[in-house]
Structure 1
Amino acid sequence: MDMPRDDLIRGRASIPGQIYHITTTTEGRQPLFRDFHCARLAIAEMRRLEEQNLIRSVAWVLMPDHLHWLLQLNGPISLSTIIKVFKGRSARRLGMHLQGSSSIWQRGFHDHALRREEDLLTVARYLVANPLRDGLVERIGDYPFWDACWL
């Protein structure tokens, strides 16, 4: 099956088995995910990609207006395609819930392929501690929209 070319930063490629740190934001930094139901709809689409064995979620945190996601590519589908599928599916579900036609996600995303020398656990801990650093909670365990494969 021919897959579309990646729109990653020039010089980067989608590599099966590679772990990427993805950051993507809502359109206009709308705090859509303060709404519990909106957050659960987006999380369901993240889990769906994992259930389809397209990715493995290592760790993630869904903030009110953006997503940090450590994921591992499982197969031949490019990273940009995975993110496009996630954004499309979640935007449709969120649009139905919100009964609106405004954009949900900002175009594009930031990606960083983790290098071998980077400590995966340290990166994951930093990522899921975002709600604590942003003052949303006093304890990481109190924030409902995060997960890590070590739990």
Structure 2
Amino acid sequence: MDASRFAHRGNALRHGRVSEPNRAYLLTSVTYNRQALFQDWRLARMVVAEMRCLHEQQAARSLAWVIMPDHLHWLVQLESMPLPRLMLQLKSRSAIAINKARNDSGRVWQKGFHDHALRQEEDLAATARYIVANPLRAGLVKRIGDYPHWDAIWL
């Protein structure tokens, strides 16, 4: 297959991205080169602090999240901030804090992010359960409650 077809399609998806206030989105972002940065508890909590800050600023309402060793899943309901700006702020602020803590200046996150706008028929609580069960499915813990980096408004 022609690789240029995929490049065009990827750009078309980015340009077609829509941010709708009050809509729920499942967001995923991956660390640069899939480094397992968040095995370090302190670094994972820095991402959590930035998510909470955005929540408190009413940029987005956090519904559920899990921080895996090399990526993040975040279920949010958009409020005042468009999707690209929300993720830019999360990733840039957390990268600054993480680099400061590690006395480093390298990249923390891969470029871009994946988003999935939930349809009305998709169950938010079921999506949240799926998100927080990631560590269990990955074999990191035997019980969800044993994993330290997750939360959901329903639990």
**Matched residue type, 1:126:** Y
Q: State the Cα deviation string for residues 80-99 of structure 1 (Å, max 9, x = none).
A: 00000010100000000011
- What is the CA–CA distance in structure 2 between the aligned matches of 1:42 and 1:12, rounded to whole Å? 24
Find the aligned partners of 1:109 and 1:41 in 2 and give their Cα distance. 19
2:126 counterpart residue number: 122
Return the offset for 1:9.
Answer: 3.0
Q: Deviations over 1:8-49 (max 9, x none)?
A: 634331000010000000000000000011011111001000
**What amino acid is the match of 1:24?**
S
Percent identity, aligned pairs only, is 56
Give the drift of 1:119: 1.2
- For residues 69 and 95 of structure 1, the distance between their equivalents in structure 2, rounded to whole angstroms, comes to 22
Gaps of 5+ in 1: 1-6
Residue-by-residue CA offset, 1:74-131 (whole Å, 9 max, x unaligned): 12x2100000001010000000001111100000000000000111111111111000
User: Aligned partners of 1:100 and 1:70: how far apart in 2?
Assistant: 29
In structure 2, distance between residues paired with 1:57 and 1:143:
19
For normalisation by structure 1, the TM-score amounts to 0.92
Who is 2:6 aligned against? none
2:49 maps to which of 33, 44, 52: 44
CA separation of 1:23 and 1:87: change in aligned 2, threshold 3 A: same
Identify the match of residue 113 of structure 1 among 117, 124, 128: 117
Residue matched to 1:88: 92
Which one has a larger percent helix, Structure 1 or Structure 2? Answer: 2
Q: In 1, Cα distance between the equivalents of 2:93 and 2:129?
A: 28
Aligned length: 144
Q: Which residue of 2 aligns with 1:142?
A: 146
Q: Secondary structure, in 3 states, of the residue corresponding to 1:9?
A: helix
Distance between the aligned counterparts of 1:120 and 1:27, measured in 2?
29
Gaps of 5+ in 2: 1-11
Residue 13 of structure 1 is matched in structure 2 by: 18
Contact 1:27–1:105 (8 Å) recurs in 2: yes
